């Protein structure tokens, strides 16, 4: 698989669960 970042791993996991959109506020912990 090569090098996978934490962000890529999280994105793949969310996609597998059917998540298409995520919303947040920049600089504000959600």
pTM above 0.85, yes or no: no
Look at the alpha carbons of 2, 8, 12, 17 in this order and tell me if their dihedral is positive or negative: positive
Radius of gyration of the chain measured on its C-alpha atoms: 12
Domain region containing 20: 1-29
How confident is the model at residue 22, as a pLDDT? 81
Q: Tens of pLDDT along the chain (30 residues)?
A: 589 898 888 888 988 999 888 887 777 665
Give how many domains the chain has, as a whole number: 1
Contact 20, 28 (CB under 8 A): no
DSSP characters over 13-24: HHHHTT------
Q: How many angstroms separate the first and last alpha carbons of the chain? A: 30
Quick one: tokens of 11? 């994105």
């Amino acid at each position: 698989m090569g090098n996978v970042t934490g962000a890529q791993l999280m994105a793949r996991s969310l996609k597998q669960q059917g998540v298409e959109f995520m919303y947040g506020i920049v600089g504000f912990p959600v």
